[in-house]
Amino acid sequence: MADAAVKDKHEAASTDANAAKVEQELTDGFHLVIDALKLNGINTIYGVPGIPITDFGRMAQVAGIRVISFRHEQNAGNAAAIAGFLTKKPGICLTVSAPGFLNGLTALANATTNCFPMILISGSSEREIVDLQQGDYEEMDQLAIAKPLCKAAFRVLHAADIGIGVARAIRAAVSGRPGGVYLDLPAKLFSQVMNADTGAKSLVKVIDPAPAQLPAPAAVKRALDVLKSAKRPLIILGKGAAYAQADDAIRALVEKSGIPFLPMSMAKGLLPDTHPQCAGAARSTVLKDADAVMLIGARLNWLLSHGKGKTWGEPGSKKFIQIDIEPKEMDSNVEIVAPVVGDIGSCVSALLEGIDGKWPAPPADWINTVKSKKEENIAKMAPRLMKNSAPMDYHGALGALRTIVKERPDAIVVNEGANTLDLARGIIDMYQPRKRLDVGTWGVMGIGMGFAIGAAIETEKPVLAVEGDSAFGFSGMEVETICRYNLPVCVVVFNNNGIYRGTDVNSAGGSDPATTVFVKDSRYDKMMEAFGGVGVNVTTPDELKRAVNEAMDSGKPTLINAVIDPAAGSESGRIGNLNPQSVLRKK
Ligand code: ADP
Ligand code: TPW
Ligand code: MG
């Protein structure tokens, strides 16, 4: 008996040793994807677990990757997208198949539209069943659906191709004009086994993922000539300029040239909004009257009235210079007389070489016109920002937040809504680059909590999310995520009981409310309390200021329900003119 037991024990030990040896020599799809991401410096994944990626998330966590689990994939995707914007590395969003994938796809499309680098990695069902449409669990031809909505889409079928697949996805996301990439990983891939050594050798570290693209010297000279001969020059900074992280060169270009600059929404703070050359408070004047406009990482899309129409003064009154990495952007809406194609860092540095001591300062009458218009507008606004009434109007409440950001310039402001967005953009001055994150090119609602979480995770800075009550609703459930990860996020909900205004009535009568109003006097602060965070209800700017300061000092997840006069807002904020009008509608 004793001998038999010893023999059994020996046999068991040698089987264990063999198993360990085999295990040492093998790897699988799960580990190869994780290793490929880590090899390329990716240390955070945003996602929602489920078949077939539940174990992937666990293993990634064990492997030292930070895995942030959300309540809805769209918010995870938005977090990944803003991580991409803030870090110039692709943000990773991980989802399950079909519905999870579709939930993440909105964020991927939005990232692509905004030129943010992001990779949506979704598990998918069995190819053989999907392609024969035999009704697999969460069946969907995800690759085909993703393709038109992003910059590139890839599928990996063999474990040996994971290294190349991940490398292609990274390069596609960050090189040239950044954007969203879809990476399809079928369930079967994760458990595919291969020799560990061969597996390790199959991984690819992407060298120089976003190579510098130098502008042609002739293009630089052409741009300098246009700028130099201008009587009323203007520089417009867009979020591409913020993304490029060429902050010092951009600042030097602006200051050495002496040209007034206008920041687009997410370029605010690249140079402080309080900079003497900032023309933000004289926007209409400079757009209308400038004779040469240099766009740096900004497109002439709807946000700039397509470079034409009455916003831009007399037709033909301007020459456009455009710096962009995407050659196809040139002449997209109007003629660009001096296209400078290249990455912003390289282009701005090349321009700077031509702006030496002999550079002529812009004519004094132009500088003075901009200055006096600015002063006039700032003076007009000032008393409205100091109003300490209850209920608050937008200006009173935003006046309080403006002071807070001035005192805490490293805080990141996330902003969405209609009036809440348009007025905050104008009122809250920004002082540092990449501190203002908002609805971007699409004017999309729902980025709020995803951006807030992504920004807090990536930067470890305090986040102040200024949210319309409708806007907040699109991602509001993520307050649980904010509490779970104990993030320093302070959400201020501008609660005016609805979309644009809380005063609409249903013109058809009956018991249904109007389409734009919500439950009156809701207490969004209770939502944060439900998960252990701090909730505060405020009715005056003073109370608001106190509550935000407390939140920022403590770093505790906080939601402040800021009661706003339901009659204060206007339809669609500042873009009501884009609403189609019915000639048949009875007033
Ligand atoms: P905004 O909305 O602020 O006006 P857009 O999103 O319209 O800005 O424009 C950003 C532009 O910046 C895009 O055309 C994009 O190709 C460009 N871009 C992004 N990153 C870079 C870069 N590193 N170098 C040059 N151009 C860039
Ligand atoms: C994905 C349309 C634009 S702004 C807005 C909606 C629904 C909400 C405005 O109300 P809010 O702000 O946030 O309370 P305020 O201060 O004016 O009251 N769906 C998506 N994106 C957009 N842009 C809409 C709908 C919209
Ligand atoms: Mg509202």
Pocket test for ligand 1, best of 114, 177, 264 (most atoms within 8 A of CB): 177
Contacts of 23 (CB under 8 A, 6+ apart): none
Residue 572 above 70 pLDDT?
yes
Q: Is the CB of 423 under 6 A from ligand 2?
A: no
Q: Is the CB of 438 under 6 A from ligand 1?
A: no
**Residues 106 and 146: beta-carbon distance below 8 Å:** no
What pLDDT is recorded for position 567? 97
Q: Is the CB of 343 under 6 A from ligand 1?
A: yes
Angle at the Cα of 151 from the Cα atoms of 297 and 244, rounded to 5 degrees: 25
Average pLDDT over residues 281-287: 98
Counting Cα atoms < 13 Å in the Cβ hemisphere of 471 gives: 33
What pLDDT is recorded for position 21? 58
Helices (H), 419-506: 419-427, 448-459, 469-473, 479-484
Residue 20 above 80 pLDDT?
no
Q: What percent of the chain has pLDDT over 90?
A: 94
More confident residue, 2 or 462: 462
pLDDT 10s digits, 512-548: 999 999 999 999 999 999 999 999 999 999 999 999 9
What pLDDT is recorded for position 1? 42
Of ligand 2's listed atoms, the one at least distance from the Cα of 473 is 13
Residue 3 above 80 pLDDT?
no
Average pLDDT over residues 55-66: 98
The CA 495 to ligand 2 mean position distance, Å, reads 13
| CA dihedral for 251, 256, 257, 260, sign (positive or negative) | positive
Whether the full predicted model's pTM is greater than 0.85, yes or no, is yes
pLDDT 10s digits, 490-500: 999 999 999 99
Q: Is the CB of 238 under 6 A from ligand 1?
A: yes
Residue 345 above 60 pLDDT?
yes
| CA dihedral for 192, 195, 200, 202, sign (positive or negative) | negative
Average pLDDT over residues 92-106: 98
Strands 26-28 and 193-195: antiparallel
Q: Which two tokens stand for residue 37?
A: 């991401």
Of ligand 2's listed atoms, the one at least distance from the Cα of 564 is 16
Of ligand 2's listed atoms, the one at least distance from the Cα of 573 is 17
What pLDDT is recorded for position 12? 54
Residue 432 above 80 pLDDT?
yes
Going by pLDDT thresholds of 50, 70 and 90, the confidence category of residue 356 is confident
The CA 174 to ligand 1 mean position distance, Å, reads 12
How far from 336 is each of 23, 293, 537, CA to CA, in Å?
61, 10, 51
Burial class (CB in 10 A: 0-12, 13-18, 19+), 516: middle
Of ligand 1's listed atoms, the one at least distance from the Cα of 267 is 3
Closest Cα to atom 3, ligand 2: which residue? 418
Residue 8 above 70 pLDDT?
no
**Tokens 């990860």 sit at which residue?**
485
**Average per-residue pLDDT for the chain:** 96
The CA 499 to ligand 2 mean position distance, Å, reads 6
Nearest to 558 by CA among 532, 519, 540: 532
Residue 16 above 70 pLDDT?
no
What pLDDT is recorded for position 5? 52
Nearest to 238 by CA among 151, 348, 102, 162: 348
Q: How many other β-carbons are positioned within 10 Å of the β-carbon of residue 63?
A: 14
Q: Is the CB of 244 under 6 A from ligand 1?
A: yes
DSSP 344-385: HHHHHHHHHHH--TTPPPPPHHHHHHHHHHHHHHHHHHHHHH
pLDDT 10s digits, 130-182: 999 999 999 999 999 999 999 999 999 999 999 999 999 999 999 999 999 99
Helices (H), 442-573: 448-459, 469-473, 479-484, 525-530, 541-554
Average pLDDT over residues 308-327: 96
Q: Is the CB of 95 under 6 A from ligand 2?
A: no
What pLDDT is recorded for position 585? 79
Closest Cα to atom 9, ligand 1: which residue? 298
What pLDDT is recorded for position 232? 98
Strands 118-124 and 193-195: unpaired
Average pLDDT over residues 109-129: 97
| Rounded CA separation 305/548 (Å) | 36
How far from 349 is each of 327, 338, 362, 541, CA to CA, in Å?
19, 16, 20, 44
